Amino acid sequence: MKNLVLFFVAGTLVLGGCNKEYINPSTVSVEQATGSAEGLTLLSNGLQARYATGGLVSVLYNKVALSGLSTREMFILNQGNVDENNVAVGGASIVNDNAVVRNLWTTSQLVRANADLILANASNATDPGTRSGIVAYASIFRALTLGDIAQFFEQTSLVTGENATFVPREEALRSAVAQLEVAAAQLAAAPVSAEFRGKIVPGIDLTNTLQALIARYSLVLGDYDKALAAAGRVNLSSRSVFNFNNIARNPLFDVVFGNRNIFEPTDANLGLSGPLAPAPGDRRIPFLVRAAPLPTQNRGLGFYTANDAPIPVYVPGEMLLIRAEAYARKGDLANAVVELNKVLTKTATANDPLGAGLPAYSGPLTADAILLEILRNRYVELAFQGFRLSDSRRFGRPGPGQPGAERNRNFYPYPRIERENNGNTPPDPAN
């Protein structure tokens, strides 16, 4: 990725890395923006603005679209939305200028670059508690974007510059986890200050989110002991969300679930069938979808019901399912079932509306059977949150070209804008 830095300061857009320099007297320089705690906090707020808002260009919208349309979790309503329709078709229909693929890549890279900029200058915040808050916040968004890129692309860059080199997705995830661990240690040594809490956009629980993301990406990396430990440190009664309002809108409601123009959940079974179909009586389904929507209604509900509806950074059930999967893959099937049952039997609360209210697991006590039940519950518990494609790959479900394929791509081609500006861009994946 080229040396492109995009950030927001007091509502002003600053763009660096262009061939010419145009001085806008209402903007500040990078040095001014990163030279103080106040400037770094403003830049930190800009990370969430870029990641979570902006409708069609937000990371949140594009990862839900890519994952959902590639796995039949979502159904195209209007084929005139050509790029989304091509994602739903999959295979060779997804070309290098597909807007959904491009926007996920470019917006994620912009957020990652700005998070790195904040982290590189965090020492300019002299108060330890303010500095630890800044580091934690930037580390979270750096990890989120690297994790999102790793779900959809085989490689990515970890630096910003001319002809930046690429690394395998696993290395990107290890880098994310390492930075999260640094941030967690720093936050434990210097609890976040009132100054930082008063100026940062509210909603994200720093302490618990750091551990939740360590658990999420350690699981993908196969570091099951670390995933177990980190998930176990998350307070399941905590709440960590992206907040929205009628100006900075929930992008999935604003663009998709608030209308019937682009896509909606495939059906009341979330596009699942056979052993992966939701269990009869699963009480999470009415929270997620309308069983019989009116002609003008989008079938989708979940966390996308209004412009100001908050979207969780993680849900409690994800942590329980991480622990269940980690135990199962370590061969500890008894403890895997214990954690799985916490998901199956939990009831909805104001803090956690995803209550299945089902009986405890009674299937075979084999790794294959338990992992299949864990996957089924991941598909429901994490519906419309952008995880299904990655989960389908990790659990070895049938892929492109295989009988009964459950996804139409494994990874995506690199956007043309990257390839034309970076000679180190790897070859596109076959599928």
Q: 121-135 pLDDT, tens per residue?
A: 999 999 999 999 999
The pLDDT value given to residue 17? 34
Q: What is the Cα–Cα distance from 79 to 83, expressed in whole angstroms?
A: 9
Rounded to an integer, the average pLDDT of 147-165 is 96
The pLDDT value given to residue 33? 83
The pLDDT value given to residue 29? 74
Report the interhelical angle of 206-221 vs 224-233 (nearest 10°).
160
SS3 298: coil
Q: In whole angstroms, how large is the CA radius of gyration of the chain?
A: 21
The pLDDT value given to residue 27? 60
Using the predicted structure, report yes or no on whether residue 25 has a pLDDT greater than 60: no
Rounded to an integer, the average pLDDT of 291-307 is 96
Q: Determine which helix (DSSP H) or strand (DSSP E) holds 372, and give its type and residue range.
A: helix 367-381
Using the predicted structure, report yes or no on whether residue 332 has a pLDDT greater than 50: yes
Rounded to an integer, the average pLDDT of 340-360 is 97
* Tokens linked to 234: 């998350």
Q: Is the dihedral of CA 38, 40, 41, 47 positive or negative?
A: positive
The alpha carbon of residue 323 and the mean position of all alpha carbons in its chain are separated, in whole angstroms, by: 19
How far lies 371's CA from each of 19, 168, 321, 396, in Å? 52, 26, 10, 11
Q: pLDDT-derived band of residue 12, with 50, 70 and 90 as boundaries?
A: very low
286 in the Ramachandran plot: left (φ > 0), alpha (ψ -120 to 50) or beta? alpha
Q: What is the Cα–Cα distance from 149 to 387, expressed in whole angstroms?
A: 12
- More confident: 3 or 135: 135
SS3 384: coil
Reported as a single tens digit per residue, the pLDDT across 88-97 is 999 999 999 9
Q: Give the largest CA-CA distance in the chain.
A: 68
Q: What is the Cα–Cα distance from 46 to 52, expressed in whole angstroms?
A: 10
Q: Is the dihedral of CA 18, 162, 172, 39 positive or negative?
A: negative
The alpha carbon of residue 127 and the mean position of all alpha carbons in its chain are separated, in whole angstroms, by: 31
List the one residue out of 272, 354, 290 whose CA is nearest residue 318: 354
Q: Determine which helix (DSSP H) or strand (DSSP E) holds 116, and give its type and residue range.
A: helix 99-120
The pLDDT value given to residue 1? 53
CA angle, 365 as apex, 363 and 370 as ends, to 5°?
70
Rounded to an integer, the average pLDDT of 323-350 is 98
Reported as a single tens digit per residue, the pLDDT across 257-295 is 999 999 999 999 999 999 999 999 999 999 999 999 999
pTM: 0.94
What are the extents of the domains in the chain? 5-413
Q: Give the CATH class of 5-413.
A: mainly alpha
Using the predicted structure, report yes or no on whether residue 10 has a pLDDT greater than 70: no
* Tokens linked to 74: 């979502």
Reported as a single tens digit per residue, the pLDDT across 27-54 is 667 787 898 999 999 999 999 999 999 9
> In 376-389, which positions are buried (b, 16+ CB within 10 angstroms) versus exposed (e)?
bbbbbbbbbbbbbb
Using the predicted structure, report yes or no on whether residue 20 has a pLDDT greater than 80: no
Using the predicted structure, report yes or no on whether residue 194 has a pLDDT greater than 70: yes
Give the total residue count for the chain: 431
Mean pLDDT of the chain: 93
Rounded to an integer, the average pLDDT of 415-423 is 96
Query: Rounded to 10 degrees, what is the CA torsion of 319, 184, 51, 245?
Result: 80
CA angle, 349 as apex, 68 and 242 as ends, to 5°?
50
Q: pLDDT-derived band of residue 16, with 50, 70 and 90 as boundaries?
A: very low
Reported as a single tens digit per residue, the pLDDT across 225-237 is 999 999 999 999 9
On whether the CB atoms of residues 387 and 70 are closer than 8 A, the answer is no
The pLDDT value given to residue 26? 47
> Which residues on adjacent β-strands are paired with residue 312?
241
How far lies 220's CA from each of 150, 214, 314, 334, 370, in Å? 10, 10, 15, 22, 18
Using the predicted structure, report yes or no on whether residue 409 has a pLDDT greater than 60: yes
